[in-house]
Amino acid sequence: MKKTLILSLALLLVLPLSLLVPAAAESAPIYLDLSEVLEESGFLSPGETYYIPVMYGNYTLHREELERYRFTVKVENTTADEDRSSSRASASLALIGDYRYLKFSTGASVANKANQEFTITINCYDKVDKEYTDPAVEVVEVGFSSSEYVNESSFTVDNSAAVVEFSDSLTDCLITFPDGSRFAAVLVPNSRRNQDEGILRRTNLYSTTSPVLPIENKYPNEDLEYLTFASNTTFGDNSILRVYAPDMKYIYRIKNQNTLEKINFTRSGDYLVFTTKTLDSYVMSPRELSATTSTTTGSTTGSAPAPSSPGATLSAATAGAAADTAFAARSPYVRFVGIGSVPLEAMQSVATKARAKGLSALVYFDTLNASGGVTTRIYAYPATVTKGFNASASYDDATATSVRNTFSRWFKNKVAVLNLGQSGDFGTKVEVATLMNLSGMDTKQLRFYSYNSARNTYAPLAAPSYWIDNAGYLHFSTTVGGAIVVSEGPLTSV
């Protein structure tokens, strides 16, 4: 068994090093390839996370080069003093598969005042020659090509162009957001302060009703809605927010991504009305929630999950009805629980109804534990699906346990395994979020492989782009199913 396994793995994975790591002169410069991440405007977008290839010569930097070189990264805001924002950017090196990328991100509010310029420096130390080579220095601009100019007392936000610039003559403005909520914004600060200071003129008004997984895990049986603003902009005193939530009786402010603060409000028709100087993140509920729990930060955005039996087949009729319910509640998100087989017709039904509503629908397939918490979720865009697939998943069934034991026996690495019910290609790229046990593993050095038990072979996942959220869910992308093996570092035979 051991010889068979090692031989088949070697045939699939072990290539001559020259095919993996191109030869390059020691003086070859290290630089960032920005061609695939820059928007047409030439800017990076605030609030987004980018993975930028680190180039060595004419090739993306391979992990083998780490044997010889040590890299350090520095990022600093080099915007002119008068336009510089207090918001910061973060930059670090990330290993995706066998190749090195620069992970770069900023907060959503970084360009509220003006587009920001950041200088990224990657220093490279040659451990053999004991000297530094020429560093990679790149300047990137984060912001927007233009902003919407507002000179009237009412304005409707378009999320595709959410940065606005208010006229100097405006002292207040009634702002309407895509979900129907309204904000009577005071643009002049508190009269006790200098009127020439702090007057808001340019800000990012992007908002979203996207669900947050931790709250669904904590309250799987609640029908919640929420509203999150990209930047915590501060307006003048006595600004009033009217949150559109016809069926909700409670509203909470989400603080520090994991706690709730109950808000006192008055009801006006379909709106929950309260005074606030900042646009924060809010969750609305038909019943009172605990405001002291550390994981109450989001919701399922207006549609209850379609009921099903574990491993059930999703019919086109059920999928279409769930889509109607979600879309009627102004949500593009359709959630199913305990689904196994997903025929193409079911996804096409959701996609058709989404197009009719002008929505870009996203479907969730949740696997729950005995207490109703989400253990694994598979995300799929129905418009991109080309075939039926299986949406079941488990990290503690017999298959996952067997594969984990096999890899632990033949490899030195710590491993975890998620058994996806889909065999072979999904027919689209899906994102997976799972609570699989990664204890004791260096999560900054994870590698992802798909294992074919029938052939006794494994292969690296292409661009899993993994990350771990605050609730401990491991997120990654894949186009294939089967047993997904997550290892600490590249697999090394015993």
Q: Is 283 exposed, middle or buried (0-12, 13-18, 19+ CB in 10 A)?
A: buried
Distance in angstroms between the alpha carbons of the first and the last residue of the chain: 14
Three-state SS string over 370-392 comes to CCCCEEEEEEECHHHCCCCEECC
Q: Look up residue 170 and give its two tokens.
A: 């405006």
Segment 423-451 mean pLDDT: 91
Q: Look up residue 267 and give its two tokens.
A: 């009801």
In order of 8, 33, 34, 109, the CA distances from 53 in angstroms are 31, 6, 8, 25
The whole-number pLDDT of residue 430 equals 92
The CATH number assigned to the domain with range 316-391 reads 3.40.1350
For the four alpha carbons of 92, 97, 100 and 102, in that order, the dihedral sign comes to negative
The CATH number assigned to the domain with range 2-142 reads 2.60.40.10
Domains 2-142 and 148-285 are alike in CATH topology = no
Residue of 198, 194, 184, 254 lying closest to 224 (CA atoms): 254
List, in order, residues 6 or more apart from 63 with CB less than 8 Å away: 95, 98, 99, 100, 490
The whole-number pLDDT of residue 481 equals 93
Residue of 484, 362, 363 lying closest to 421 (CA atoms): 484
- At residue 176 the predicted structure's pLDDT band, cuts being 50, 70 and 90, is very high
Q: Which CATH architecture has domain 148-285?
A: Sandwich (2.60)
The whole-number pLDDT of residue 111 equals 65
- Report the distance separating Cα 309 and Cα 86, nearest Å: 51
* Domain coordinates in residue numbering, the chain: 2-142, 148-285, 316-391, 394-488
The whole-number pLDDT of residue 387 equals 93
Segment 374-400 mean pLDDT: 92
- 434 - beta bridge partners? 376, 474
Residue 45 has pLDDT above 60, yes or no: yes
- At residue 97 the predicted structure's pLDDT band, cuts being 50, 70 and 90, is low
Segment 103-121 mean pLDDT: 77
The whole-number pLDDT of residue 156 equals 93
Q: Look up residue 111 and give its two tokens.
A: 């360009």
Residue 420 has pLDDT above 50, yes or no: yes
Residue pLDDT, tens place only, 306-321:
434 456 889 999 999 8
Q: Look up residue 265 and give its two tokens.
A: 């409000």
Quote the mean pLDDT of the chain: 78
